[in-house]
Amino acid sequence: MPNPRSTTRATRSTGAVTLQRVAEHAGVSIATASRVLHGGTRTVGEELRRKVEDAARDLGYVSNAPAQALARSSTSVVGLVVHDIADPYFAAIAAGAMRAAKRHRLMVMIAATFGDPELEIEYVRSLRAQRARAVLLAGSGVADPDLTARLAAELDAFRADGGRVSCIGERGVEPYVPLDHTGGAERAATELWQLGHRRIGVVAGPEGLVTVQRRLAGIRAAWSRLGGELPDRRVVFADFTRSGGREAALGLFAAEPGVTAVLALNDVMAAGVLAAVQDDLGRRVPEEVSVVGFDDVPFAVDLRPSLTTVRLPLEEAGERAVQLIADGASPARQAPLGVALVVRGSTGPVAG
Amino acid sequence: MPNPRSTTRATRSTGAVTLQRVAEHAGVSIATASRVLHGGTRTVGEELRRKVEDAARDLGYVSNAPAQALARSSTSVVGLVVHDIADPYFAAIAAGAMRAAKRHRLMVMIAATFGDPELEIEYVRSLRAQRARAVLLAGSGVADPDLTARLAAELDAFRADGGRVSCIGERGVEPYVPLDHTGGAERAATELWQLGHRRIGVVAGPEGLVTVQRRLAGIRAAWSRLGGELPDRRVVFADFTRSGGREAALGLFAAEPGVTAVLALNDVMAAGVLAAVQDDLGRRVPEEVSVVGFDDVPFAVDLRPSLTTVRLPLEEAGERAVQLIADGASPARQAPLGVALVVRGSTGPVAG
DNA sequence: CTGTTAGCGCATTCAA
DNA sequence: TTGAATGCGCTAACAG
């Protein structure tokens, strides 16, 4: 018998090294092998333990995650749902999440919805099928009752199957990592007011996103508190992209040439605004027009001029989101992550 | 009976809706249910098919991926191994990969090594445990024989288990998406030469990365072909980060004040170089110093001044990488993705 | 076209 | 402490 293999079919030639084989090789039962290789509790004798470990190493054993998942009905993967991983906002969150995931020995599966709420629901469902241990919703939700309800239903089903859920920013899902969009926006608006600006414009992202609504609300709140006016025609909605920002800025100035400062609702859009104002419109920043961004993504400091923006601790938010779903994290109230206005070169006093 | 849940423990209250239950509910065998719900082939009668579909919908059935994976020993997840997802280079690749993955109905699991080659090996092993259908290596390899061999061994094992492998850029693994680092670098260097620069400096990434070596080789090849000189002291290695670029530039100019142009081996470093040259050293770009980057990440155009750089079709590379491992993609020779020099504002003729 | 049956690899009672 | 046996949910022959 030159070949120890006995069973019939193909697939399992010498290929798959299973617990079974390790057990045989070590001369123990598969239960024992399982205990030393996977079981946390040390209830195996020193000698057998060594034998099993040696066998596993010799054979190059690698556990079969799907099999384990099936047997214990739980995996070590967490799903992260973002809009677009190429967007530095989400990339930062993902980086933080992955860092924390590593600490907790979790794998991160990323799904990009490209802004499609239907896809978000579909991905949660898919993650449920994967029996992911948790799903992290990183993107902003949309203010649509139907969509929200359907997502909630899907999340409930996910939880019913034993999964955990957490999200970045408040969106009606518990637990979540609080991000003070409103407060940050208020601060940015206030800064502009203090610089003497009275006629400001807002370059906003998609109108349906609750993040956009929150930031906008913060600006409006601060502005009216200060006694300013912000007519709707000075608020332009567009995609959360560079070109979205550029086009929105162009539209804004076409309609309201007197605007002295513009608040972009994220840094990527701000980059587009800067390009529009300086290159297309030929106005100087900040001498003629001030620009403020939101998020403080890494490249904000390198824009021309460097961008004044509201800093959001994105990486930390990502980390916290996985902490929330890792171990028995208490669903205790989270201290909101600090937002801060980072004043750089794109803002200045209103032209006298 | 206000509460339909009955069974004892926790987890499996009304929770787990299995194929089994769907089959019962529909009055068919579980095999039939499986066929209509998962089997691609249409070998089920119209009536039963409908019954099963209705039952599945009514019960809210979601297939159990781990169970499927175990039974058919294959999953629909592909692993993507990157250095750092927050780096726009990898974010772009990931975005492309995810787009293609969606088309092929694959899920993408991302692992970040943060530049640690050991972690890369560990992740491949972990992906093997997950029985991932494929792993995509997006990061550059290091020029270390031991590491390379161990990674190769792990990849072979992965393949032996039926997994597919592909990577971005040549690194001794087949198949791969060719990226002409060398050619791009040659083009950038040539451009500088033509602008009259003779004393150039290179701000390079980690010396061990083969990508760095390739780009550097391209520069050296072009330069010596043109008749220029590039002494080692004008080549500085640092991290592939903004601060790495900034510090490297500072060091470079401290040692070689006469340099008239610097080639940064990626755009993120170039941002740091720009900051160092203009803000720290107070020299004008491009009047006094020209700067060239590499990759053409999204923010390159927004730098101050806009960055001349070598464009690499990163998203497309990501897409191609998953195409390579999807369906029965022929391991045919790939036409190298086109690289192009994008001339913008950071380069100009040498000061006369 | 449909049902029966035998695993897939592992965790986990339950005995020993 | 260790082993034997059972089942996780599903797929894939194989038979009818």
Intervals of chain B under pLDDT 50: 1-14
* Chain-chain contact of B66 with A130 (C-beta, under 8 angstroms): yes
Nearest CA-CA partner of A299 in B40, B293, B143, B111 = B293
Cα–Cα distance, B264 to B241 (Å, whole number): 11
Q: Which pLDDT score, from 0 to 100, does residue B335 have?
A: 75
Q: Which pLDDT score, from 0 to 100, does residue A9 have?
A: 32
Using the CB atom, is residue B76 less than 7 Å from strand D? no
* Chain-chain contact of B86 with A91 (C-beta, under 8 angstroms): yes
* Chain-chain contact of B84 with A95 (C-beta, under 8 angstroms): yes
Q: Strands, DSSP E only, in chain A? A: 77-82, 107-112, 134-137, 164-168, 176-177, 200-204, 235-237, 261-264, 290-295, 308-311, 340-342
- Residue A227 CA and nucleotide D10 C1' are separated, in Å, by 65
Would you say the CATH fold of B181-313+337-342 matches that of B15-63? no
**Whether domain B15-63 has CATH 3.90.550.10:** no
Residue written as tokens 């990931």?
A: B94
pLDDT tens track of chain A, all 352 residues?
223 333 333 333 456 899 999 999 999 999 999 999 998 666 788 888 999 999 999 999 999 999 999 999 999 999 999 999 999 999 999 999 999 999 999 999 999 999 999 999 999 999 999 999 999 999 998 999 999 999 999 999 999 989 999 999 888 888 999 999 999 999 999 999 999 999 999 999 999 999 999 999 999 999 999 999 999 999 999 999 999 999 999 999 999 999 999 999 999 999 999 999 999 999 999 999 999 999 999 999 999 999 999 999 999 999 999 999 986 656 566 677 889 999 999 999 998 6
What's the DSSP call for residue A300?
Answer: G
* Chain-chain contact of A107 with B126 (C-beta, under 8 angstroms): yes
CATH number, domain A181-313+337-342: 3.40.50.2300
Superfamily per CATH, domain B74-177? Response regulator (3.40.50.2300)
- For A65, the closest of B85, B107, B129 (CB atoms) is B129
Q: Look up the protein residue whose alpha carbon has the minimum distance to the C1' of D6.
A: A71
Q: Which pLDDT score, from 0 to 100, does residue B11 have?
A: 34
Cα–Cα distance, A97 to A139 (Å, whole number): 13
Using the CB atom, is residue A69 less than 7 Å from strand D? no
Classify strands A340-342 and A308-311 as parallel, antiparallel or unpaired: antiparallel
Token representation of residue A137:
């919703």
Nearest CA-CA partner of B88 in A291, A348, A268 = A268
**Phi-psi category of residue B275: left, alpha or beta, with phi > 0 → left and psi -120 to 50 → alpha:** alpha
Cα–Cα distance, B227 to A116 (Å, whole number): 54
Best to test chain A binding among B21, B110, B319 (most A CBs inside 10 Å): B110
Q: Does B78 touch chain A (CB under 8 A)?
A: no
**Shortest CA to C1' contact from B70: nucleotide:** C8
Please give the residue of chain A at the shortest CA–CA distance from B275.
A302
Using the CB atom, is residue A162 less than 7 Å from strand C? no
* Chain-chain contact of B109 with A110 (C-beta, under 8 angstroms): yes
Residue written as tokens 């927004």?
A: B302
Listed as ranges, the nucleotides of chain C within 7 A of a protein C-beta are: 1-5, 7-13
The distance of A298 to chain B (nearest Cα, Å) reads 9
What's the DSSP call for residue B349?
Answer: P
Q: Strands, DSSP E only, in A219-352? A: 235-237, 261-264, 290-295, 308-311, 340-342
Q: Are residues A340 and A316 in contact, defined by beta-carbon separation less than 8 angstroms?
A: no
Q: Strands, DSSP E only, in chain B? A: 77-82, 107-112, 134-137, 164-168, 176-177, 200-204, 235-237, 261-264, 290-295, 308-311, 340-342
What's the DSSP call for residue A75?
Answer: -
Query: Which of residues 36-65 of B have CB within 7 Å of strand C?
Result: 42-45, 47-49
Nearest CA-CA partner of B274 in B182, B344, B215, B180 = B344
- Residue A43 CA and nucleotide C16 C1' are separated, in Å, by 16
| Partners of residue B86 in chain A, C-beta under 8 Å | 88, 91-92, 94-95, 298, 315
- Residue B205: CA count within 13 A, CB half-sphere: 24
- For A91, the closest of B85, B303, B315 (CB atoms) is B85
The distance of B242 to chain A (nearest Cα, Å) reads 9
- Residue B163 CA and nucleotide C8 C1' are separated, in Å, by 17
Q: Does A8 touch chain B (CB under 8 A)?
A: no
* Chain-chain contact of B299 with A299 (C-beta, under 8 angstroms): yes
* Chain-chain contact of A315 with B86 (C-beta, under 8 angstroms): yes
Q: Which pLDDT score, from 0 to 100, does residue A82 have?
A: 97
Q: Are residues A204 and A236 in contact, defined by beta-carbon separation less than 8 angstroms?
A: yes
* Chain-chain contact of A98 with B108 (C-beta, under 8 angstroms): no
Using the CB atom, is residue A338 less than 7 Å from strand C? no
Domain ranges for chain A: 15-63, 74-177, 181-313+337-342
